[in-house]
A and B are shown apart, each in its own frame.
Chain A
Amino acid sequence: MNYFYLKFILTNILFSLTACALILRFRGGNKEHTLWELVLYSLGLGPMVTVTLLYYLLIIVPQHPPAFYQLIVILLFSSAALLGIGGFREMGRQTRRQFNRILQQFKASGIQSRLKDITYWALIATLFLSVFYIYIGTVRHNRLEGHDALIYGNFGKLYLHQRKIEYSNVMLPADNGFMFQGSPKPAFSLLLTWEQLVNTETINKSPYFDTYFRSISGYYGILILLVAFLWLYRKNRWLALIGNLMMFTAFGFFKIMIDLHLDSFRIYFLTLAWIWLAYALKNNQRFSFVMFSLFSGFAAFAHLIGLVAAAICGLVYLLYMEGTFKKRSCRSLLFLLIVILCGGLHYVLEAFYGSVAGFLSYF
């Protein structure tokens, strides 16, 4: 379990905050987004950027010892943290400012208002504590199962053992005999590879060997709830509470929280790609455009539906953006390039070098 905490704090918190610092550092004059909004969006970036880096490393410099890949990824994030040091400062400044503002508001308010606030946040806390109960219970008690989730897991193990990612038309079994006639997307599997790079020797020695991998589903499920909360809270805080309740009581959403699958992971990136599409068209700023392209790319990297959605997003952006045809075309090409860099490369390589069982053959 110690490895789990290490991986979780490193990947989901520290790497994500590094991504947020970089975003704050390079967002230019864009002040449309609050700190909380950007932090929330960045919390999903840590794991995804990590697996994207790992994907490139396993393609470009394959078959090195596990420590090599960890070191490179940590070094890259450390460099990014140094580069985004200004972003960290801003994060600290804004956090202090917001905290003071909330405190002053609370002090200035009357007893009735305070009681209302306390009741509201107690209800929110109850809701999220229930979600946490489900999250912790699921991660602690469930072994990975279900055909599709296990296929992703097996690919994660395969990448770890081979320490390379191959593209080939020839379907051959792995060393342990594992075979799969399909075209699974590597992002989710690489989360297991990343987890196991630390503790290769403990695979299947303990039921907790893949805890981090199993925690992903619930983690992104909570992020989706928080994003929904944020958007509804802007209109009305009771609407936010009801909205979260409605989302959580949809049986399908409850299922994706407990199923240890990739659904919440892929849905999170697709939803954010759409949010950034709206921003990109609304303010026509480079920052929003880059964020839109990044999230579309990650959505494509996560799943085939994400790839289709990214293609649709690209076309819609071309159709609806303001500007000359030349500007639209340049932006669309840039969008395509960023999507390919953020994971779309997988599909390009599949198209040229072959997938194990048919290009785009399976979800």
Chain B
Amino acid sequence: MTKHLTYLKPILCILLLLVLLGLIIGQVYNTIDSKQRGVLSKSEDYRSEIETPAKKMLNGYLGVFFRFKYLGNLNWLAVPLVFWFFWGTGRVPKERWQYALVTVWFLTFLFIAFKGYYNSRYQLTLLPFTLVVILLMLWEIVKHQKRYIKILSFGLLFLTALFNVVHYADQYKFFTDLKIKRSTAHFPEQLINFLNSRPDIGQKRSQVLVFNQPLYYYHTEKQGIDYQNPYNLRMFLQLLRKEGSSRKMNTLFRKKHKTKYILISWTAESQYKDRMMTEFLNTQCKLLFNDNGYKLYKIRDPHLIKELHKKEYRHIKNVQHLKPQIQGQRGSFQITKDPKQNLLTLINQKPDQEGRRLLQLSFGSTLGEAAGKYLHLIVEAKIPTHLINRENYIFIQDYKEGWERNRHYYAAKFMRRYLVSRKIRPGSTNISLGIRFVPKSPQDKLTIKSINAYISDNPL
């Protein structure tokens, strides 16, 4: 039988060499490429633990062998053991089914390595088969050895299993608590119960725009509009625009599409943070529910500006004409006011001696009347893309035995409106509205078009 199967050995050899060569070339290419680009990878790569070229190679393409965290510590033995089995066991004839299994396993590995390398779930496909075959082969090596060698081998295997448990103990504990003991609830149970208990949500005239949340359709029997729905695509495209009027969008949603709610997760929100969506959710919607990262918004009716014209909202006049007070400054800044275009521009000139750059302006020293009430700050501003981070934002803060601050981060390089609200604690001795600007280089600029503030007894 082995005689006419001898041609298979060189074929397997050539295949293995080709793959090895491909992997080496791939590694070299990835290393050069990452240095050229200066950027290592996307956020999905971080989630998949393949964010660097080396990790992409070991956890990604060769993850079946080297993704120790998910697949245990033994899988890398598959390659040497296969070589040993076919080429190291002398003249013991090999069977057809053995060649067949190696071929099937190897081709499936290639498919997973190149098509599903980014997800450990796909690499897991080969785990049961690979691990059992490795253990069977290891048994072939030790079965005729002395008893103590067998015990030693089993002991080593046991230690590798134990090592995995100890090394990732916190992860095991986290998932055991999360999914088995349920000591840390993570499912948006309250949101689902709320949706199921409200007959006015998810009907023909009060539809919910659902942003990639299959949970809504699965756990409720409500009507939704999927964000990919071709009949309502315009609504979604409006949200993805870089510019436009959030006020018009509000009307489009409510009047044309009979949509009154939006269901979205914080991950989707952050994914679209430089789009019109951020402004729309921030200024034209009320957050009804935030349960474990799943957010349900109600679209304002009427739209924000119209609502602010109601009696219950008192406009604090001339906030933007007040001379801003500098609350904090690191480095030197140029602050210019263009009365014609009504623009306030903050430009960084140089950092301080320690290389820091920061400017924090406050607009409200006479806001004592807001104590115990709701204060709302609406700012129209634009900021360079590289400064969209957790350091640049607008805020409202009050002081009562310590400062407390509500903030909203800038989200676009285009002129956008941002809203932040806060219930001022009764007895606050100091209240201020402000903007925080932390540039990274000279000539970084924050442009502010308008600043408005309102006081009300009820939340906006």
Contact = CB atoms under 8 A, between A and B. Distances in A.
Interface of A: 133-134, 137-138, 141-145, 147, 150-151, 153-154, 157, 171, 173-174, 176-181, 203-204, 224, 227-228, 231-232, 235-236, 238-239, 242-243, 245-247, 249-256, 258-259, 261, 263, 266-267, 270-271, 274, 277-279, 281-282, 305, 308-309, 312-313, 316-317, 319-322, 363
Contacts of B187: 142-143, 145
Which among B71, B121, B196, B210 has the highest number of chain A CB atoms within 10 Å? Answer: B121
B121 A261 contact: yes
A134 B154 contact: no
A138 B229 contact: no
Nearest to B5: A320
Contact of A150 (B115, B123, B180, B218): B218
A250 B129 contact: no
Contacts of B154: 238-239, 242
Which among A144, A157, A251, A312 has the highest number of chain B CB atoms within 10 Å? Answer: A251
Contact of A173 (B108, B111, B226): B226
B125 interface: yes
B241 interface: no
Contacts of B125: 263, 266-267, 270, 305
Interface string B178-215: 01111000110100000010000000000100101011
A247 B133 CA distance: 12
A250 B70 contact: yes
B403 interface: no
A235 B139 contact: yes
B11 to A, nearest CB: 10
Contact of A176 (B97, B104, B223, B228): B223
Contacts of A259: 179
Interface stretch (B157-165, B296-304, B351-359, B372-380): B157-165
Contact of A232 (B132, B212, B214): B132
Which among B143, B182, B217, B224 has the highest number of chain A CB atoms within 10 Å? Answer: B217
B337 interface: no
In the A-B complex, the 8 residue pairs with the smallest Cβ-Cβ separation, listed nearest first, are A252-B70, A137-B180, A250-B72, A150-B214, A177-B224, A281-B97, A179-B226, A178-B217
Interface stretch (B167-175, B389-397, B440-448): B167-175
B401 interface: no
Contacts of B99: 320
Contacts of B124: 252-253, 256, 263, 267
Contact of A154 (B96, B127, B217, B221): B217
B165 to A, nearest CB: 5
B78 interface: no
Contact of B129 (A179, A232, A255, A274): A274
B122 interface: yes
Given A176-B221, A232-B139, A320-B100, 19 more contacts: A150-B215, A154-B214, A177-B207, A177-B229, A235-B136, A242-B161, A247-B128, A253-B127, A277-B97, A278-B101, A305-B111, A305-B122, A316-B104, A320-B96, A320-B99, A320-B103, A322-B96, A363-B115, A363-B122
A179 to B, nearest CB: 4
B: contact size bracket: 35 or more
Nearest to A231: B132
Contacts of B157: 242, 246
A255 B103 CA distance: 28
Given A179-B229, A316-B100, A320-B100, A204 B136 contact: no
Contacts of A235: 136, 139, 143
B41 interface: no
The secondary-structure label for the interface of chain B is helix
A279 B120 CA distance: 29
B168 to A, nearest CB: 5
10 contacts: A145-B215, A173-B229, A232-B139, A236-B139, A246-B131, A277-B101, A312-B103, A312-B104, A316-B107, A319-B100
A177 B129 contact: no
Contacts of A203: 221
B112 A153 contact: no
Given A141-B182, A153-B218, A249 B104 contact: no
Contacts of B132: 228, 231-232, 243
Given A239-B154, A246-B72, A312 B100 contact: no
A141 B177 CA distance: 11
B367 interface: no
Interface in B8-62: none
Contacts of A138: 179-180
Interface string B94-120: 011111110111011001100110001
B120 A252 contact: yes
A251 B107 contact: no
Contacts of B96: 281-282, 320-322
A133 B214 contact: no
Nearest to B135: A243
Contact of B218 (A154, A236, A258, A266): A154
B225 interface: yes
A154 to B, nearest CB: 5
Contacts of B139: 232, 235-236, 239
Contacts of B325: none
Nearest to A227: B128
A252 B71 contact: yes
Interface string B218-259: 111111111011110000000000000000000000000000
Nearest to B121: A263
A229 B155 CA distance: 18
Given A177-B226, A250-B127, A251-B70, A258 B214 contact: no
A232 to B, nearest CB: 6
Nearest to B110: A312
A176 B217 contact: yes
Given A243-B135, A249-B165, A363-B116, A144 B218 contact: yes
Nearest to B67: A252
Contacts of B67: 252
Contacts of A308: 108, 111
A103 to B, nearest CB: 29
B69 interface: yes
Nearest to A357: B228
